[in-house]
Amino acid sequence: MTNNPVILTGDRTTGPLHIGHFAGSLRNRLRFQDSHDQYLLLADTQALTDNAHDPAKIRRSVMEVALDYLAVGIDPEKSTICLQSHLPALAELSMLYLNFVTVARLERNPTIKDEIRVRGFGHNVPAGFLCYPAAQAADITAFRATREPVGADQAPLIEQTNEIVRRINAAAEKDILPEAEAVIPRSGRLPGIDGKAKMSKSGGNAIPLSASPDAIATAVRAMYTDPGHLRIDDPGKVEGNVVFAYLDAFDEDEAAVQELKAQYGRGGLGDAVIKRRLNGVLEALIAPIRQRREEFAKHPDHVLNVIRAGTQRAREVTEATKRDVVNGLGLFQL
């Protein structure tokens, strides 16, 4: 424990992490580990909220995500990697918090509304999914996190967390829980290789951080560019062109990328050239991650011990918060 601010981030264990995670969150987490008390939650119970039909995938993905963390350079000496389903205080706090939020409020949450639409749930939304903002409030507050790096579209979740915090503090008549501030990363969302607004594990449009050179090449070949750019001499669109979105995110030579964009816009630059460049950039990004991942994968016991030790540490922190909330609300003590 230090006096550093606490930060909680996490990933649903629905599959291996992808380059969108790297651009949108892992890169920042590598920086945060020196300046924050950082907890990384392997969010397997949250993954169940829309994957209850496939628990095997969620179980398998715990190791995948943990391997990705270690492979990109998350250091378990500095950051705590922990498993959501093995932190009972999170579930207990969720149950308590559900009494401080209404169904109408959950249904109005713009993030949830949008996710329900995208997943086509309609009225058949699993109750756990509708209620996950309360569970997320439990995650954030259990660690007493005060800074939450989230994408702009997730900001309503932090707002809802803080509403719950204020209600609980009001009921307890003292500030037992801190509010959290959303920290929106500048990088924004990385689109999928199909041109859809978001690369996602479940969307089938991702390049995993563990992708082989062949898989990278195949993904780059299939990548959405500008369907109107038929001949090399035609002017091409940079806006919405996934190749340029990725070059912006990962190519260190910004000036060269700007020059390529201008040339593409004028006409005279073929997709093959920009794709070749991107292929090189992605291979350079992924190769060292892939190599470290393969090394860690040879020692699953080590990875398991990292998760066990982190979860043990997290258990102490989250149990203490749960006691504070139960005591603060003045529930009966035995």
Using CB under 6 A, list all residues that contact ligand ATP.
Answer: 11-12, 14, 20-21, 23-25, 150-151, 154, 189-190, 198-203
Q: Which is nearer to ligand ATP, 149 or 236 (CB)?
A: 149
Q: Which is nearer to ligand ATP, 12 or 147 (CB)?
A: 12
Residue 310 C-beta: closest distance to ligand ATP, Å: 18
| CA 143 centroid distance within chain | 17
Phi-psi region of 195 (alpha: psi -120 to 50; beta: other; left: phi over 0): left
Q: Which is nearer to ligand ATP, 111 or 279 (CB)?
A: 111
CA angle 209, 212, 218 (to 5 degrees): 100
Report helix, strand or coil for 37. strand
| CA 269 centroid distance within chain | 35
Residue 159 C-beta: closest distance to ligand ATP, Å: 16
Q: In what order do the strands lie in the sheet with 6-12?
A: 79-83, 37-43, 6-12, 147-149, 181-183
Q: Which is nearer to ligand ATP, 157 or 325 (CB)?
A: 157
Residue 57 C-beta: closest distance to ligand ATP, Å: 10
Q: Which residue is nearest to ligand ATP (CB)?
A: 24
Q: Which residues contact 225 (CB under 8 A, 6 or more apart)?
A: 236, 241, 242, 243, 271, 274, 275
CB 43, CB 82: distance < 8 Å: no
Q: Which is nearer to ligand ATP, 58 or 269 (CB)?
A: 58
Q: State the SS3 of 151-193.
A: CHHHHHHHHHHHHHHHHHHHHHCCCCCCCCEEECCCCCCCCCC
Which token pair is 241? 């062109």
Which token pair is 259? 């020059």
Residue 330 C-beta: closest distance to ligand ATP, Å: 35
Residue 267 C-beta: closest distance to ligand ATP, Å: 30
Residue 127 C-beta: closest distance to ligand ATP, Å: 18
Q: Which is nearer to ligand ATP, 9 or 311 (CB)?
A: 9
